[in-house]
Amino acid sequence: MAEKVETGVALTPKDIEMATLRWWLMSHLSYNYQRMQAGGFASMIGPIMQKLYPDKPEEVIAGLKRHMMFFNTEPRWGAVIHGITIALEEQKAKGEDISEETIIDLKSSLMGPLAGIGDTISGALYKPVLLGICLGWASTGSFLGPLVFAIGMLGYDYTITRLSIRKGYQLGTTAVTTILEGGLFKKLTTFFSIMGLFVLGIMVCKFITVDVALQTVVAGKKIVFKELFDQIVPKALPLALTIVSWRAIMKGYRVINVLLCLFAFALIGGALGIIK
């Protein structure tokens, strides 16, 4: 068994805040396919290790070596791991019976599940919703589009990173269980799923501009089919094309084939004067 190294040094809230800032800025520092985010993780925890072991550089070196092992997760929600790891390293430095293998195994076992949570909320829900809203402004030439998107993403990234690290540090190894059993993940995914459906409906109306171009004259009165369809179901053709495309993709058709069919439909329909 390795000899215990007790320092009695306690971390302060400022140490946690600075660790949060370092990870937010350097999560993908020296990102590579051999170690993925290990370089960023080591940069985040390096000053922590130096404070925990001010007079034992060999312990700092050993700590950096174990944190330079392969590591990869969603960098915002996955930062719960960083908070837990900091708490474990602090307790280890105080003489608690925590082995290197415990810390390494905990990181390895949590990075996959938390990546799934983070990718779902950040990549599949929040970002598309925010992007859908901001694209509407950007398409009109408004500077609000890129400005709101930048502020929304930077604010979201930092806020979630900060909350995740703080929660992980406060709760220690029970952090992930608390998040999952507390229903937070389910509430967030439900909220963003509903928001995503609203934004999708708005994007269909705003960005799919295909319309029926057919017109006819009945009893001396011009009948415009577009106006007729809009009275029955506004934006009926864009909605129909969206549903048909979605159904095709769900049935296993390749996206490129669906796009080619839409291109052919637009080309032929426009040439014949059926759609515009």
* pLDDT tens-place string over residues 43-73: 999 999 999 998 899 999 999 999 999 898 9
| 162 touches 156 (CB < 8 A) | no
Give the integer Cα–Cα distance in Å for 250 and 164.
Answer: 35
End residue of a domain, out of 177, 204, 231: 204
Query: Measuring CA to CA, how many Å separate 111 from each of 87, 116, 117, 137?
Result: 17, 9, 10, 36
What's the mean pLDDT in 3-21? 78
**Whether residue 216 sits in one domain with residue 187:** no
* pLDDT tens-place string over residues 134-157: 988 888 888 999 999 999 999 999
Boundaries of domain holding 249: 210-272
* DSSP-H helix ranges across 172-183: 175-181
Is the predicted pLDDT of residue 214 greater than 90, yes or no? no
End residue of a domain, out of 150, 174, 204: 204
* pLDDT tens-place string over residues 169-184: 988 756 555 555 566 5
Task: Count the domains in the chain.
Answer: 2
Of 34, 37, 7, nearest to 22 by C-alpha is 37
**Whether residue 219 sits in one domain with residue 195:** no
End residue of a domain, out of 157, 175, 204: 204
| 161 touches 20 (CB < 8 A) | yes
Q: Which is it for strands 215-218 and 221-224: parallel, antiparallel or unpaired?
A: antiparallel
